[in-house]
Amino acid sequence: MSGENQNRQPEGSGRNVRRKSPPAEPLRFETRLLHFGGEIDEATGASSVPIYQASTFHHEDVFNPPAHDYSRSGNPTRQALEDYIAKLEGGARGFAYASGMAAIASTFMLLSSGDHIIVTEDVYGGTYRLLTSILNRMGIECTFVDMTDPEQVKAALKPNTKAVYMETPSNPTLKITDIGAVTGWAREHGLLTLLDNTFMTPYYQRPIEQGVDIVLHSATKFLGGHSDVLAGLAVARTEELGAKLKQLQNGLGTVLGVQDSWLLMRGMKTLGARMSHSEQSAAKLAAWLTGRSDIEAVYYPGLLHHPGREIHERQCRGYGAVVSFDVGSGERAKEVLNSVRLPLVAVSLGAVESILSYPAMMSHAAMGEKVRHERGITDGLLRFSVGLEDIDDLIADLDQALGGKK
Ligand SMILES: *Cc1c(COP(=O)(O)O)cnc(C)c1O
């Protein structure tokens, strides 16, 4: 029970005990991941953002309300996360949601009945389902185009087009969209541009710097990084768009809870270390798969033959940790899935442990077979999200699952 500070009174009013002066800007990205402004609690000096497990806030003086009045509208823990992602993406304001789909769905609510959106054809399966089975009923229509070709984007323009939705590299075949070409053209036509940055994260790709208006994330993946939290994030380029997203987030109530906000921030601090390690391993895996005669195709933006690699290198500073490959048939894909011993066989990606998924039966199951095959999501396609295991162990395991050296 003894301790030097037993009887010490908290200094001052308990406010602003943070004694360090803010570091000189600009800091490099890796440093900003740790020194994002919320890393030390202002009231106590605690080494992480406190979890304000409260739904509402006392009004000491009704004429002078507290900064936050109700946690759906704002909570200091969630706010710290929202400021954190805004800073990392280089946007004006950030928002945290209950899932990636909650972030995407809430953002689509910027549109109204009668509006039209141009969408990349191999968009995330859940976004495809939202557009084709929910938003269509609300009178919001969309045209899917192959966004590797900017001419197809331009050709899809209609008088009621309001927005363009990008995902690059796309899921699961890692197709590349020229972000600057799309945002430049969209601006001329007064269109809103949205980009799902889940695969690259701001560590590799910062779309706002290339003219994108709203960046979206399934933070469930690389940002969280540990397969233990479901979350979504959005970042608005301008204050004006931020105010609109704020109204939607509060009005729809799609917010992220405080425990998950804290857990996500904990995960995000190691984003750089995780991403760079996994990327090195992913490059090795992609090269190894390319060297095998029994693999039909390998998709990884870092491979020399990968379509759009030069565009990707211009707009992004890395290749990420996802490698997709075609083992030739659905039967063989299922054999591999049932024979691997190290990766988690699951829906999802972007975690400390490797995750092997089967798009045809998992992430893209909602897509009709014909559309799926047209988009290169064949029955033999597997998606490997490389984690932090030793890559030689992962390769040896995949080698045995594929039935030995070929
Ligand atoms: C997982 C994912 C989503 C959806 O996110 P949830 O957190 O699962 O709701 C959206 N986009 C991409 C690219 C994803 O991988």
* Domain edges within the chain: 76-268, 271-402
Active site residue 221: yes
Q: Is the bond preceding 50 in cis, omega lying within 30 degrees of 0? A: no
Query: How much is the mean pLDDT over the chain?
Result: 93
User: How far away, in angstroms, is 232 Cα from ligand 1 center?
Assistant: 8
Q: Which CATH class name applies to 271-402? A: alpha beta
User: Is any ligand 1 atom within 6 A of the Cβ of residue 207?
Assistant: no
Nearest-CA neighbor of 89 among 209, 170, 176? 209
Q: Is the pLDDT of residue 1 over 50?
A: no
Q: Is the pLDDT of residue 337 over 80?
A: yes
94 pLDDT higher than 80: yes
pLDDT for residue 15 is more than 60: no
Count of helices and strands (H, E) across the chain: 14, 12
Catalytic residue chosen out of the listed positions 124, 165, 203, 299: 124
Query: Given ligand 1 and candidates 220, 222, 226, 385, which is best to mutate, with the most ligand atoms within 8 Å of its CB?
Result: 220
200-203 contact pairs (CB < 8 A, 24+): 200/168, 200/169, 200/316, 200/318, 200/320, 201/271, 201/275, 202/29, 202/85, 202/88, 202/89, 202/90, 203/29, 203/33, 203/271, 203/272, 203/275, 203/318
203 lines ligand 1 (CB under 6 A): no
Question: What confidence score (pLDDT) does residue 364 get?
Answer: 81
Q: What is the mean predicted confidence (pLDDT) over 362-366?
A: 80
Average pLDDT for 160-172: 96
Sign of CA dihedral 308, 172, 218, 160: positive
**Confidence check: pLDDT of 353 > 50:** yes
Q: What is the pLDDT of residue 365?
A: 79
CATH of domain 76-268: 3.40.640.10
Residue 339 pLDDT greater than 60, yes or no = yes
- Expressed in angstroms and rounded, the spacing between residue 381 Cα and the centre of ligand 1 is 19
Q: Ligand 1: does its nearest atom lie under 6 Å from the Cβ of 198?
A: yes
Considering only residues 91 and 362, tell me which one the structure prediction assigns the higher pLDDT: 91
pLDDT value at residue 228: 97
**pLDDT class for 20, splitting at 50, 70, 90?**
low
**Does residue 160 have a pLDDT over 50?**
yes
- Whether the pLDDT of residue 402 is over 80: the answer is yes
What's the pLDDT score for residue 405? 62
